Amino acid sequence: MTVTQERPAINGVDVPTLFATLDAVKGQPEIADFKFRATNRWVSGVQSRSTYTGFYGAMQELEHAHATEVVSDHPAVLVGQDQGPAAVEYLLHAIAACLTSGIGNIASARGVELHSVSSTVEGDINLLGILGLAPEGAGVRNGYEQIKVTFHIDGDADEETLRGIVEQSRRRSAVYDALTNPTPVVIDVVVADQ
């Protein structure tokens, strides 16, 4: 702990508060039960917008500091108005941002100063799947065949240490798990009275 006490706000991470949070959860594991939420509204065509306002966590309803709205559409080549990235493109942000937040926390907990972390993400998808045009038995799925994340990382540590931080982030990543392992998705439909 010596290192973290000497550099409490390394990388913009308040390390003492991070460790205090871990201690609090150890003492009362119910704190760790979270429910994240979004509300989506269809606009027109294939465009929709989601709003994030609140969530449940630490045994209470909480609000984000400010509401965020994000928009999805299709590009013109996929018969949309291109008012925003396609839904499937948001998965690419999610995986990059999740791994990067882990890198920020883990590097800080280990007393490693980061200079820069950037990544490019590419997802290969064969749209024959969602278009319903894949030949029978061709094994074409609806989603990404593969997502590749390439990190460029620069920090005050040797290569092995920096690689170890990325690897630990992968091991603890919520989005990496949600994508690489099956996540149950339940869909309920309420139809308006005619």
Asked if residue 187 binds a copy of itself (CB under 8 A), the reply is: yes
Tell me the number of residues near a copy of itself by CB under 8 A: 136
Radius of gyration of the chain (CA): 20
Residue type present at position 136? E
What's the rounded Cα separation, in Å, for the pair 9 and 44?
45
Which of residues 1, 8, 14, 61 is near a copy of itself by CB under 8 A?
A: 14
Q: Is 128 in the site for a copy of itself (CB under 8 A)?
A: yes
- In angstroms, how far apart are the furthest CA atoms of the chain? 67
- Decide: 9 and 45 in contact? Cβ < 8 Å: no
- Least separation in angstroms between CB 111 and a copy of itself: 15
Among 2, 136, 139, 190, binds a copy of itself (CB under 8 A): 190
Instruction: Rule CB under 8 A: say whether 8 interacts with a copy of itself.
Output: no
Structure tokens at 32: 């760790």
Q: Can you tell me which of 6, 94, 137, 139 binds a copy of itself, judged by CB under 8 A?
A: 94
Q: Is 3 in the site for a copy of itself (CB under 8 A)?
A: no
Q: Are 63 and 113 spatial neighbours (Cβ–Cβ below 8 Å)?
A: no
**Taking CB under 8 A as the rule, does residue 4 contact a copy of itself?**
no
Site string for a copy of itself, 50-89 (x = CB under 8 A): x-x--x-xx---x-xxx-x-xxxxxxxxxxxxxxxxxxxx
Tokens of 162: 């920096």
**Minimum distance, C-beta of residue 170 to a copy of itself, in the bound complex (Å):** 6
Contacts for 86 with CB less than 8 Å, ≥ 6 apart: 72, 73, 74, 75, 78, 80
> How many other CB atoms are found less than 10 A from the CB of residue 74?
19
Bridge-based pairing of strands 47-57 and 60-72 is antiparallel
C-beta closer to a copy of itself: residue 3 or 75: 75
Q: Does 139 bind a copy of itself (CB under 8 A)?
A: no
Q: Should residue 126 be labelled a site residue for a copy of itself when binding is judged by CB under 8 A?
A: yes
Residue 16 CB, nearest distance to a copy of itself (Å)? Answer: 10
